[in-house]
Structure 1
């Protein structure tokens, strides 16, 4: 029986990961959250309640338990990572940090894991509010990969898409186009990576059984430009988008990047992982979300 701990896991791809884990008879799953978000897992999971950023609370609720795999979906700072490093030393066989493509700056070339090297990145202490999202994730990776005494994988996801996206990034575009509201896009030619919430959950599930460690990029195969995304939206909705280079902040596209920002997944694919073809599924995903508006 594999003992699995998931920090976070009650929404979006974290929730889908838990659904996959509890569907496998050799897993016993424990969720650790603040307890603010309900879930529908019933008695299929054990639940622990603690503030992820309070090391003493974490130590108290976890007791002397040990884990085969720990998934950390809610680590945003070096202090969070330091607490995990101390708490899980000699108590887990594998630690999987959900990181982000945000550790990279935009680039005209495909981003490989080596572009940002957490093994040599200078460590600074601090909490989530002390850093930008990018710097917090960089430092969390650096702490865990430089100092932990257990195997660590840091999964770098791009923007995650899905009908269940609580941040509603594709929804934003559909709402704006249908309501005739301008959308701010600074560079229509910038190319970007995406991944679906199902694909992200599948990758995390497989990584828990893999020996792959270190930073690892995970995204759908292929890229699209922001302009191509807008064109797909226009074709599905049947309305021309009002795209402008500058708008008020609330109307700026969540995909509105200044330069191309996309990843290379050779490392993961060499280890046996496969990814969906982005240009093949994106139009149907747009159609699924738009159908909700039509209803």
Structure 2
């Protein structure tokens, strides 16, 4: 297959890119060329900016792809551009949505692909829902060959997943644990959550590429392992050789102190997330997530320890954690 990834160098997409090349896929990445170290050997980079439709069209001139995957489409405007660019240029267009688009609060604890999409707390999720609606309308009205994939919290070597951490400096959480600073946890830490290693996600996702029965379908891809947030933070601590000092505050208190967390908490992590993966297993027979969180996070900490230049600490994030905790101590 000849496959185009728009983006392709993020936490999830870099694992998928590596596996796609290993499986013999002729892989092209359309991006701005800012992360050459994350491009797997054997992939070809097309330098371009998908946010500039005219230049993107010029870059793609003469190419046709069996599959196009857009890892960086977040708004209806983005997918309208993609529909225009790829309407006659691909046999399958894969949109990366989000499991945060599912109903908040949930009517049933187990999430399936038929769970309604509704998130009154997070604009990011509402935009993803609007993108899905637009793409499915295009599929129904003109046969645009869309497949929708909804990841939940997916991590890899370069990310340390938690409900509170610095996105730009993920080592901050480990550093905070190791020096014995208090670690903020929403609620009592017993709501359920699912962490998925990017290599597990990749194994399922690559099986969808070029799959005729995936056209017109939406599917989520997650691990089957279910943990609560106390277990997640303690697993991170064990991997880091530290016993985290967990401080529990109600989600409402946290949001009052820091309104910017409303979407990520009330619209996502404060709600238990347990997924029925029957559909992806039907589409990709043999798929099972095999990396438990305690093993995946151990690999992540070891990767950071082998890359001291990535062990940067976010002072402003630490100050914010101290401020929120201090407001209620």
Assess same fold via TM > 0.5.
yes
Q: Is 2:206 the counterpart of 1:216?
A: no
Q: 1:60 aligns with which of 54, 58, 63?
A: 58
Aligned-pair distance for 1:232?
Answer: 2.8
Q: Is 2:128 the counterpart of 1:137?
A: yes
Q: In structure 2, what is the Cα distance between the partners aligned to 1:147 and 1:233?
A: 43
Matched with 1:112 is 112
Two-structure CA RMSD over aligned residues (Å): 3.0
Q: Which runs of 4+ in 1 moved over 6 A?
A: none
Q: Deviations over 1:73-127 (max 9, x none)?
A: 1111101111111211122111111211111134351111112369xxxxxxxxx
Matched with 2:295 is 284
Q: Deviations over 1:3-23 (max 9, x none)?
A: 211101123221222222223
Q: Report how many aligned residue pairs link the two structures.
A: 277
Matched with 2:318 is none
Aligned-pair distance for 1:265?
Answer: 1.2
Q: How does 1:102-251 map to 2 (within 5 A)?
A: 102-104=100-102, 105-107=104-106, 109-116=109-116, 132-148=123-139, 149-165=143-159, 167=167, 171-187=171-187, 188-210=189-211, 211-213=213-215, 214-236=217-239, 237-245=241-249, 249=258
Matched with 1:123 is none
Deviates more, 1:94-103 or 1:43-52: 43-52
Alpha-carbon distance change, 183 to 260 in structure 1, aligned in 2, over 3 angstroms: same
Q: In structure 2, what is the Cα distance between the partners aligned to 1:283 and 1:223?
A: 12
Q: Identify unmatched segments of 5+ residues in structure 1.
A: 119-130
Q: In structure 1, what is the Cα distance between the partners aligned to 2:305 and 2:21?
A: 35
| Aligned partners of 1:69 and 1:92 also within 8 Å | yes
More helix by share: 2
Aligned-pair distance for 1:42?
Answer: 7.7
Q: Is 2:269 the counterpart of 1:275?
A: no
Alpha-carbon distance change, 37 to 244 in structure 1, aligned in 2, over 3 angstroms: same
SS at match of 2:230: helix
Deviates more, 1:163-172 or 1:259-268: 163-172
Deviates more, 1:89-98 or 1:38-47: 38-47
| Aligned partners of 2:182 and 2:244 also within 8 Å | no
SS at match of 2:82: helix
Q: Identify unmatched segments of 5+ residues in structure 2.
A: 161-166, 307-329
